[in-house]
Amino acid sequence: MSDFNISINKNKVEFLKFNFLFFRVILISLMASSFFSSCKKDTDLGLTTQPAGDKINTVFADTLSIEAYTLKDDSATSKNEAYGMLGNYNDPEFGNVSASFLAQVLSKVVGTKFESSSEVVSIKLYLDYSGNYGDSTKTQTINVYKLTNSIVKDSAYYSFNKASSFYNESDLLGSRTINQGQLYSDNLGIDLLPSLGNSIFSLDSIKANSDILSVLPGICITTDTNVVGGGIAYFNLTSGNSKIVLTYKNASSDTVTSEFIINQNCARFNLFTHDYSNTNFYGQMNSITPIQDSVFYIQPMAGVRGYIKLPTADKLNIKSNVAIVKATLVIPIEKNDLSISTYEAPTKLMLYERQANNQYKLPPDFSLGEIFDGNYYPSESVYKFNITLEMQNIIDGVIPNLGLYLISNDISSCNRVVLTSGIHSNRLKLEISYIKF
């Protein structure tokens, strides 16, 4: 996704919306004319016409064959994330998931001076808790390590990197065992080794942030992986409330406090690991030839994505010019996934147009803003996408029909979902209304 810019000029969006709506108005006017009164239904494809009492007749198809598969997602890069994700859990549908994060810690005040008599009273790491995903009652042990080398704010790091490659086991700064439910009333506080404070005192003074980075290149925060159930917590890394607080005494003064904060000026990124070996889709995901099951799977954090094969023009029985009035991709969730009450589905998904080199880009309908959709509709238990322009381009031969990739709208979240494929009894479907010229 980093290969393209998804930012959209507001004026351009409004212009495109106007033209899209104008185009549909013209089509509706055309449909009312006698020129189109000869449109017939195609019983082979399940094509029907609107009721005779309606003023407008369009050809409508909703039984077209669509295939959907589960693929391993490309490893996402992580860079300067607003939220650090931390925890481990065993998902009954998606297997074991683990999240940890790295961050620089910078001095809140530059110019702090220490005395030779400075003595550590306490040194603690606080993390600004923002919520959790999964089972918050399970206990996990959180470990804080000193990084071996500095990380760089302007660099992106692959999220598949193992956390242990960034630190030595001997550089453990502190640990705490806690369940996520406790964090609602207690922003995570972890006692760190006094030796870290003594390393800071060795600087005599902090004239620049490079000084603190010379003794503390950063921290890596991980959890144990031996958890049944479990979940992942979110911590705000830009609020300034995630910090190390050093409390110390000088011979010349009473207790003094210095803060070293994690904020938007710090390098920070998330790391994820997945173990899919015991999942139902493991064989499908690793097959050279795609295998379609009755369901397919979406999980962020560089997890798994969907691949959707759209029907070709010949499957649509379109042998002449047509104008697509509307094309809606409707994707139901698998209602037999009983774990969804604990491991919630994303509120929104995202579609990308597959390219010849297996890269992907935003489809043209994305430029229409909210018309593109992608939202979850709880009353229907489905996700919906408007892919009218995409289907028009495919039918007109403007682009090759290479299919679509379906992923979570937010890679820095845990929400995953099981969806129905083209061979499920409650299958995904493409609803198309169009006019033949």
How confident is the model over 210-242, as pLDDT tens digits?
899 999 999 999 998 766 678 999 999 999 999
In angstroms, what is the C-alpha Rg of the chain?
Answer: 27
Domain-embedded: residue 73:
no
107 close to 258: Cβ distance less than 8 angstroms: yes
- The C-alpha angle 33, 34, 36, rounded to 5 degrees, equals 85
Residue pair 49/39 in contact (Cβ under 8 Å)? The answer is yes
Residue 71 lies in a domain: no
* The pLDDT of residue 261: 96
Q: Are 324 and 60 in contact (CB under 8 A)?
A: no
Average pLDDT for the chain = 84
Domain count, the chain: 2
> Does one domain contain both 201 and 295?
no
How many other CB atoms are found less than 10 A from the CB of residue 198? 15
**pLDDT for position 60:** 76
What span, in angstroms and rounded, lies between the C-alpha atoms of 61 and 278? Answer: 39
Residue 20 lies in a domain: yes
Question: Does one domain contain both 139 and 249?
Answer: yes
Same domain, 316 and 212: no
CA distances from 271 to 91, 130, 147, 164 (A): 18, 18, 14, 10
Last residue of a domain, one of 252, 275, 298: 275
CA distance 361 to 350: 11
Same-domain status, 57 and 169? no
- Does 1 fall in a domain? no
Residue 182 lies in a domain: yes
Given its phi and psi angles, is residue 218 left (phi above 0), alpha (psi -120 to 50 degrees) or beta? Answer: left
Domain boundary among 275, 292, 322: 275
What is residue 264's predicted lDDT score, i.e. its pLDDT? 95
Q: What is the DSSP string of 387-432?
A: -HHHHHHHHTTSS----EEEEES-TTS---EEEE-TTSTT--EEEE
263, 290: one domain: no
Give the integer Cα–Cα distance in Å for 107 and 208: 8
**In this predicted structure, what is the pLDDT of residue 204?**
84
Domain boundary at 238, 260, 275, which? 275
Q: What is the pLDDT of residue 254?
A: 82
Are 15 and 89 in a shared domain?
no
The parts of the chain modelled with pLDDT lower than 50 are 1-22, 24-50, 52-56
DSSP assigned state of 205: B
Say whether 52 sits in a helix, a strand or coil: coil
Q: Is residue 286 part of a domain?
A: yes
48 & 166 share domain: no
Paired sense of beta strands 106-107 and 253-262, if any = antiparallel
Distance between CA atoms of residues 134 and 137, nearest Å: 9
- What percent of the chain has a predicted confidence (pLDDT) above 90? 56
Closest Cα partner for 201 from 159, 155, 249?
A: 249
Residue 72 lies in a domain: no
Do residues 91 and 211 share a domain?
yes
DSSP letter string, 137-184 = TSEEEEEEEEESS---TT--EETTS-GGGGEEEEEEEEEEEEEGGGGG
**CB neighbour list of residue 250: distance below 8 Å, 6 or more residues apart:** 114, 115, 117, 118, 119, 256
User: Is residue 245 in some structural domain?
Assistant: yes
267 and 282 part of one domain: no
Q: Do 121 and 242 reside in the same domain of the chain?
A: yes
Q: Are residues 150 and 206 in the same domain?
A: yes
Domain residue limits at 262: 78-275
pTM for the full model?
Answer: 0.83
Q: Are 268 and 262 in contact (CB under 8 A)?
A: yes
- Residue 7, classified by CB atoms within 10 Å of its CB into exposed (0-12), middle (13-18) or buried (19+), is exposed
Residues 61 and 93 in one domain: no
CA dihedral (63, 67, 70, 72) positive or negative: negative
Strand partners for 131:
234
In this prediction, residue 285 carries a pLDDT of: 86
Q: Are 151 and 220 in contact (CB under 8 A)?
A: no
Query: Cα–chain-centroid distance for residue 325?
Result: 31
Distance separating alpha carbons of residues 73 and 94, to the nearest angstrom? 13
pLDDT score recorded for residue 226: 66
